[in-house]
Amino acid sequence: MSPRAACRLEALGFQEVYDYVPGKVDWLARGLPRQGAKATEKRAVDVVRHDVVTVRLNQRMADVRPRVGASPYGFALVVAQDGTVLGRLRKAALHGEPGARVEEVMEPGPATVRADTSLNTLRERLDERDLTTAVVTTPEGVLMGMIRRKDL
Amino acid sequence: MAKPILYPQLRLLLDQGAQLVEVLPPEEYADEHLPNAINVPLKKLDADKTTVLDNQAAVIVYCWDSL
**Is some CB atom of chain A closer than 8 A to the CB atom of B30?**
yes
pTM of the model: 0.77
Beta-strand pair A143-148/A133-137: antiparallel
Q: Is A143 exposed, middle or buried (0-12, 13-18, 19+ CB in 10 A)?
A: buried
Q: Do B33 and A17 touch (CB under 8 A)?
A: no
**Å between A127 CA and nearest CA of chain B:** 26
> Distance between CA atoms of A87 and A111, rounded to whole angstroms?
9
pLDDT of B67 > 80? The answer is no
Does residue A71 fall inside a structural domain?
yes
Domain holding A121: CATH number? 3.10.580.10
User: Rounded to 5 degrees, what are φ and ψ at A133?
Assistant: -140, 160
* Mean pLDDT across B6-15: 96
Count of the separate structural domains present in chain A = 1
Which of A4, A14, A142 should we substitute to test contact with B (largest number of B Cβ atoms within 10 Å)? A14
* Beta carbons within 10 angstroms of residue A22's beta carbon: 23
Provide the CATH topology of domain B7-62.
Oxidized Rhodanese; domain 1 (3.40.250)
Q: Do A30 and B31 touch (CB under 8 A)?
A: no
> Distance between CA atoms of A60 and A52, rounded to whole angstroms?
19
Query: SS3 sequence, chain B?
Result: CCEEECHHHHHHHHHCCCEEEECCCHHHHHHCECCCCEECCHHHCCCCCCCCCCCCCEEEEECCCCC
Q: So where are chain B's domains? A: 7-62
pLDDT of A142 > 70? The answer is yes
Does residue A27 fall inside a structural domain?
no
**Residue A143 DSSP class:** E
> Distance between CA atoms of A24 and B7, rounded to whole angstroms?
11
Contact map slice: A 23-42 vs B, CB within 8 A: 23-28, 30, 32-39, 41
Residues of A in contact with B59 (CB under 8 A): 9, 14, 16-18
Span B15-52, pLDDT tens digits = 999 999 999 999 999 999 999 999 999 999 999 999 99
Q: Do B33 and A30 touch (CB under 8 A)?
A: no
Q: Of all residues in chain A, what percent carry a pLDDT higher than 90? A: 70
Span A13-40, pLDDT tens digits = 999 999 999 999 899 888 899 999 999 9
* Mean pLDDT across A43-54: 92
Write out the residue range of the structural domain in which residue A56 sits: 44-151
**Is some CB atom of chain B closer than 8 A to the CB atom of A9?**
yes
Residues of A in contact with B37 (CB under 8 A): 35
For residue A85, which of A75, A98, A95, A100 has the smallest C-alpha distance? A75
- What Cα–Cα distance (Å) separates residue A27 from each residue in A32, A101, A145, B7, B35? 6, 36, 17, 8, 10
Q: Do B22 and A24 touch (CB under 8 A)?
A: yes
Confidence category of residue A47, pLDDT binned at 50, 70, 90: very high
ipTM score of complex: 0.96
